[in-house]
Copies of this chain bind each other. A is one copy, B any other.
């Protein structure tokens, strides 16, 4: 199979239509059955595969950046009687375990992004279910702020995964039903075992939807609710939008390159060496100047490239188990760009959007099942927003001094805590990466915070607990090499579990519950013969055969 490419644009969409009418946009799902990403299945009943989801993600990003005037987004279907039947079962049944897991992860991230737009961008999503929404289709609706369901005696919402497929509604469904919509758990249990779903008044009474609307009044009410949502939405004023032009990317052999981000893949060692470049120019003097740069403005350009690289490596390179992250450039310029964004993120929609996008992209790292190792070397610019890359890492090494053989006259490596590290880029658990790092140790957190804005040498950074190890030139190569070799020798599954636990110290949120509790159970269930074995429910579905279950509970 060729590499999955996450780059697309509305003109190339096969499955979605994006239309904008003043402050209201409409995203219409109208899946092309024959245009699945891979051969072997037809996308019937508006069911989706990764290709459909890639377009949805692209649309949500463009709505934020290209359509600052849009305050409400209606998600609906272009088919009659069906909103969306969820993830395509044939695709799931045939897919490798790692594909299923990554597909669900990306789907989850897009849905979290929809909630982020509603909550933090003042761009409110409404699900207009003009037909039945089942499984992942209903889970997409659950990510919206408001759910309208047509009342035509046949359209329902349902989570049929458990009764029909022997798996969970695993892209947020179980968590959002109780924790977001506050459906009582025994009703939620009943609902999730009832393949035929729930419609009409009962769906509203049980809080599964917000409103059921007679077919005759459908267009009118949907339009009214969208306009009212747009009116109430606190989206920052501004315009015109910033066009997200096609990412300039090269991918040849073992190298992936963009303007500010690159990766060299070492397949023998299972390592990707990622380098992020700081800005190659001083920060603009104002957001107006930044806006004039369009999507070439460094924080936006770098974040888009990093985002695409994460998705590419996760999907296309499952055997590259460790990502080594370096930065190169001027820490002052990084901090100046950060400062411009943060000074304006209140009033300026673009500054706000860029910070939110960076936040979402860093969150992708947190839920990526790869070992993340940061290397802080002379010439690097781990400061502010880019320091988050080191704080997201499972382990970090910082060179004490310089590489004597390479550049004895270089300035020693330094890292700098900036305002970006102290609040605007929380993880899914609601804490900053510094707070998570020093969870339960307020003194250490305060000590680090006091040194903000000061370039810290390796000895200081290590003493403050900001890096894991600070070897000198003599030990550096061996220590880093051993750490990577060792990582490559461990069970990839155990590392995934270890990292998924350690990265989220402290509180859990709906988001981390989805990625932790729900996803972990789903991964397990996906893997068990009762779902994926020759007689399992996923394979039996549609064959007329009853699945052959091992009845033992665990």
22 cross-chain CB contacts under 8 A: A168-B497, A179-B440, A184-B444, A184-B465, A185-B502, A186-B394, A186-B468, A187-B468, A189-B499, A270-B551, A491-B537, A491-B549, A492-B530, A492-B549, A492-B551, A492-B552, A497-B524, A516-B520, A517-B517, A520-B523, A520-B524, A527-B528
Interface-central residue, A162, A174, A320, A491, by most chain B CB under 10 Å: A491
Report yes or no: B465 in contact with A553, Cβ–Cβ below 8 A.
no
Residues of B within 8 A of A188 (CB): 502
Residues of B within 8 A of A167 (CB): 491, 494
Which of the segments A97-105, A241-249, A274-282, A293-301 contacts the partner chain?
A97-105
Interface residues on A, range: 35 or more
Which of the segments A63-71, A216-224, A284-292, A506-514 contacts the partner chain?
A506-514
Cα-based distance from A437 to B189 in the complex (angstroms): 12
A496 interface residue (CB < 8 Å to B): yes
Residues of B within 8 A of A319 (CB): 551-553
Residues of B within 8 A of A320 (CB): 553
Closest 8 CB pairs of A and B: A166-B491, A182-B440, A520-B520, A508-B508, A497-B521, A516-B517, A524-B524, A178-B505
Report yes or no: A554 in contact with B494, Cβ–Cβ below 8 A.
no
Closest residue of chain B to A96 (Cβ to Cβ) is B552
Contact residues of A between 362 and 384, Cβ < 8 Å to B: 369-370
Cα-based distance from A507 to B318 in the complex (angstroms): 33
- The interface of chain A, by Cβ under 8 A from chain B, is 96-98, 101-102, 161-163, 165-168, 174-175, 178-179, 182, 184-190, 192-193, 270, 318-321, 369-370, 393-396, 436-441, 444, 465, 468, 486-487, 490-508, 513, 516-518, 520-525, 527-528, 530-531, 537, 547, 549-554
Residues of B within 8 A of A521 (CB): 496-497, 500-501, 520, 523
Closest residue of chain B to A317 (Cβ to Cβ) is B553
Cα-based distance from A518 to B253 in the complex (angstroms): 38
Q: Select one of B179, B318, B507 contacting A505, CB under 8 A.
A: B179
Report yes or no: B553 in contact with A98, Cβ–Cβ below 8 A.
yes
Cα-based distance from A186 to B466 in the complex (angstroms): 10
Residues of B within 8 A of A495 (CB): 162, 553
Closest residue of chain B to A510 (Cβ to Cβ) is B506
How far is the CB of A501 from the nearest CB of chain B, in Å?
A: 4
Closest residue of chain B to A551 (Cβ to Cβ) is B319
Asked if A550 meets B497 with Cβ closer than 8 Å, knowing A179-B505, A520-B517, the reply is: no
Asked if A525 meets B493 with Cβ closer than 8 Å, knowing A486-B193, A502-B189, A518-B501, the reply is: yes
Cα-based distance from A496 to B531 in the complex (angstroms): 13
